[in-house]
A and B are shown apart, each in its own frame.
Chain A
Amino acid sequence: MAGASTPRVVLGQLALLIPVGSDTYAVSLETVREVVVDPRVTKLPTSPAVVRGVFNLRGDIVPLLDTGLLLGLRPVMEEPYAVLVETPHGTAGLVATDMPLTVRLNESVGHSDIEGTTETYLVADARLAVALDIPVLLSPGRISQ
Chain B
Amino acid sequence: MSPQESLSENDFQRLFAMEAEGRLDTLVDELLELEKGGATPEVVASLFREAHTIKGGAAVVGMPHVARVAHALEDLLEEVRRERRGVDTALIDAVLAGVDAIRTLIPLAVAGQEHEKVAFDAEQRLRIAVGGPPVVDDKAAAGPDVTAPAAAPGATPSVRASAAPDVTVPAPSAAAPPPVAPAAPPPAPAREHHAGDGSVEAHGAADGAAGHAEPARATATEMLQIPVHRIDELVRLIGEASAATLRLGSALLERLERDPSGLTEYRDLVRSLNELQELALHARMIPVMSLAPRLRRAVRDLARETGKEVRFETRGDDAEIDRGVLERLADPLLHLVRNAVDHGVESADERRQKGKPAEGTIRLHAMQLGSEVVIAVSDDGRGIDVARVRETAGRTDRSAIEMDDEAALYLIFRSGLTTTTKVTGVSGRGVGLDAVRASLNAVRGRIEVRSDPGMGTEFRIAVPITMATLRCLVIKAGGQAFAIPLHSVRAVLPSQPSATVGGRAMTMLDGRPVPISSLSAVLGTGNGAVGPAVVLAGLTRSHAFTVDDLVDQRDVVVKGLGELVPRLPAVAGAGVQPDGSILLVLEAAGLIERARRMDNGDRSQEAAGGGGHEEPVPHRAASILVVDDALTVRELQRSIFENAGYRVRVAVNGEEALAEISHERPDLVLTDVQMPRMDGFELTEAIRKQPSLASLPVIILTSRGSDEDRRRGLECGADGYIVKSGFDQSALLSAVERLLGADR
Q: Which of B552-597 contact A (CB under 8 A)?
A: 559-566, 568-571, 574, 576, 580-584, 594
**CB closest chain-A residue, reference B566:** A144
Report if A48 contacts B (CB, 8 A).
Answer: yes
Report if B420 contacts A (CB, 8 A).
Answer: no
Q: Which of A104-145 contact B (CB under 8 A)?
A: 138, 140, 143-144
Q: A44-B561, A48-B566, A90-B563 are in contact. Are A56 and B580 (CB under 8 A)?
A: yes
Report if A92 contacts B (CB, 8 A).
Answer: yes
A47 touches B564 (CB 8 A): no
Report if B104 contacts A (CB, 8 A).
Answer: no
Q: Which of A80-113 contact B (CB under 8 A)?
A: 87, 89-92
Interface flags, B517-534, vs A, CB<8A=1, else 0: 000000111000000000
Chain A residues closer than 8 Å to B594, beta-carbon distance: 46
Report if B647 contacts A (CB, 8 A).
Answer: no
B563 touches A40 (CB 8 A): no
A78 to chain B, nearest CB (A): 18
Question: Which residue of the partner chain, among B236, B240, B565, B569, contacts A44 with CB atoms under 8 Å?
Answer: B565
Chain B residues closer than 8 Å to A48, beta-carbon distance: 566
Interface flags, B236-275, vs A, CB<8A=1, else 0: 1001100100000000000000000000000000000000
**CB closest chain-A residue, reference B562:** A90
A52 to chain B, nearest CB (A): 11
B568 touches A44 (CB 8 A): yes
Question: Which residue of the partner chain, among B243, B566, B584, contacts A42 with CB atoms under 8 Å?
Answer: B584
Question: Which residue of the partner chain, among B525, B565, B576, contacts A45 with CB atoms under 8 Å?
Answer: B525
A54 touches B566 (CB 8 A): no
Interface size class of chain A, counting residues whose CB lies under 8 Å from the partner chain? 20 to 34
B497 to chain A, nearest CB (A): 27
Report if B480 contacts A (CB, 8 A).
Answer: yes
Total inter-chain residue pairs, C-beta < 8 Å: 83
B240 touches A54 (CB 8 A): no
Q: A46-B570, A56-B580 are in contact. Are A63 and B562 (CB under 8 A)?
A: yes
Q: A42-B574, A59-B240 are in contact. Are A90 and B581 (CB under 8 A)?
A: no
B518 to chain A, nearest CB (A): 13
A40 touches B581 (CB 8 A): yes
A61 to B45, CA, bound (A): 59
B570 touches A61 (CB 8 A): no
Interface flags, A5-48, vs B, CB<8A=1, else 0: 00000000000000000000000000000000000101111111
A47 to B569, CA, bound (A): 10
Question: Which residue of the partner chain, among B571, B580, B581, contacts A46 with CB atoms under 8 Å?
Answer: B571
A140 to B563, CA, bound (A): 7
A59 to B574, CA, bound (A): 11
B568 touches A62 (CB 8 A): no
Report which residue of A40, A44, A51, A89 has the largest number of chain B beta carbons within 10 angstroms of its beta carbon. Answer: A44
A28 to B221, CA, bound (A): 51
Q: A45-B523, A46-B570, A61-B582 are in contact. Are A56 and B576 (CB under 8 A)?
A: yes
A44 touches B584 (CB 8 A): yes
A89 to B560, CA, bound (A): 13
Q: A43-B480, A56-B581, A59-B236 are in contact. Are A92 and B570 (CB under 8 A)?
A: no
B568 touches A54 (CB 8 A): no
Chain A residues closer than 8 Å to B563, beta-carbon distance: 89-90, 140
A45 to B522, CA, bound (A): 9
**CB closest chain-B residue, reference A89:** B563
A44 to B580, CA, bound (A): 16
B442 to chain A, nearest CB (A): 16
A61 touches B566 (CB 8 A): no
B240 touches A89 (CB 8 A): no
Chain B residues closer than 8 Å to A92, beta-carbon distance: 562, 564
A92 to B594, CA, bound (A): 27
A56 to chain B, nearest CB (A): 5
Chain A residues closer than 8 Å to B570, beta-carbon distance: 45-46
Chain A residues closer than 8 Å to B569, beta-carbon distance: 46
B582 touches A55 (CB 8 A): yes
Chain A residues closer than 8 Å to B564, beta-carbon distance: 63, 65, 87, 89-90, 92, 138, 140, 143
A88 to chain B, nearest CB (A): 9
Q: List 13 A-B contacts (CB under 8 A).
A: A44-B561, A44-B565, A44-B584, A45-B523, A46-B594, A54-B565, A54-B582, A56-B582, A59-B236, A61-B562, A89-B564, A138-B564, A140-B564
Interchain residue pairs A-B with the least CB separation, the first 6: A144-B566, A45-B523, A89-B563, A42-B582, A90-B562, A63-B565
Residues of B in contact with A (beta carbons under 8 Å apart): 236, 239-240, 243, 478, 480, 523-525, 559-566, 568-571, 574, 576, 580-584, 594
Residues of A in contact with B (beta carbons under 8 Å apart): 40, 42-48, 51, 54-56, 59, 61-63, 65, 87, 89-92, 138, 140, 143-144
Known contacts A45-B480, A45-B570, A91-B562; 14 additional CB pairs below 8 A are A40-B581, A42-B582, A44-B561, A44-B571, A47-B566, A47-B568, A51-B565, A54-B561, A59-B239, A63-B565, A89-B564, A92-B562, A92-B564, A138-B564
